[in-house]
């Protein structure tokens, strides 16, 4: 996956709470092959009105934010279904980071495995970013993953927390299966001792 180190770019303000993964990627697109690209499915239904045309009041439809790679939303972003396609849709649209007060756990994990950085920041910071991005859609944010900071315009950098393991994987663009296979001996010895001590665990029909 693409490593994430630093990013200085404008943000899309999305004043919505509980943006679940069904809204990010409606279920009927889950059967689409990834090779086709998922960007056209991102927010497919909520970015359109009842007549099917694109809503002018939806920030991702606003040409001002067409190239902005940072999405800033309200609490509980990416809750619900475990569909990793929701992350593919964001990544294929060019989104590199999502900032929100809280995230669905599975979405958060899926994001980190696809080079998409999820950043938890308190609502008062999120509101400041919304205000800046709405006033000037080209105003850049600077995200520094190694330093774990987000800097708004000329303000002081704000620190965010991220698990050290997930940070390292993102910084290096590393596939964690390779890392796990370095522990192959430990897995095998666990497998053997567990089989001996709890033999009923093996499914036998």
26 binds another protein (CB under 8 A): yes
- Interface mask toward another protein for 135-174; x: CB under 8 A: ----------------------------xxx--x------
The span from the CA of 159 to the CA of 161, in Å, is 7
- Interface mask toward another protein for 65-104; x: CB under 8 A: ---------xxx--xxxxxxx-x--------------xxx
The 8-class DSSP code of residue 118 comes to E
Q: Coil, strand or helix: which one is 149?
A: strand
Tokens describing residue 168:
């390292």
Which residues does 53 contact at the CB level (< 8 Å), separation at least 6?
Answer: none
Q: CB–CB of 90/24 below 8 Å? A: yes
28 binds another protein (CB under 8 A): yes
56 binds another protein (CB under 8 A): no
The span from the CA of 50 to the CA of 58, in Å, is 14
* Binding footprint of another protein on the chain (CB under 8 A): 15-18, 20, 22-23, 26-28, 30-32, 34, 45-46, 50, 74-76, 79-85, 87, 102-107, 109-110, 113-114, 123, 163-165, 168, 176-177, 180-181, 183, 186-187, 189-191, 193-194, 198-205
């Amino acid at each position: 996956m693409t490593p994430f180190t630093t990013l200085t770019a404008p943000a899309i303000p999305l004043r919505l709470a509980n943006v679940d993964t069904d809204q990010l990627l409606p279920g009927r697109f889950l059967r689409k092959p990834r090779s086709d690209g998922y960007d056209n499915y991102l927010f497919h239904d909520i970015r359109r009105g009842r007549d099917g045309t694109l809503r002018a009041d939806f920030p991702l439809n606003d040409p001002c934010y067409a190239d902005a790679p940072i999405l800033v939303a309200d609490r509980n972003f990416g809750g619900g279904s475990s569909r990793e396609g929701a992350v593919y849709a964001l990544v294929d649209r060019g989104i590199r980071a999502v900032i929100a007060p809280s995230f669905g756990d599975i979405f958060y994990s899926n994001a980190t495995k696809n080079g998409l950085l999820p950043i938890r920041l308190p609502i008062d910071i999120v509101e400041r970013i919304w205000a800046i991005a709405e006033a000037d859609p080209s105003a850049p944010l600077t995200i520094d993953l190694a330093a774990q900071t987000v800097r708004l315009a000329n303000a002081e950098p704000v620190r965010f927390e991220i698990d050290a393991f997930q940070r390292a994987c993102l910084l290096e663009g590393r596939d964690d299966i390779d890392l796990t296979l370095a522990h192959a001996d430990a897995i095998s010895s666990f497998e053997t001792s567990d089989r001996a001590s709890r033999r009923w665990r093996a499914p036998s029909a």
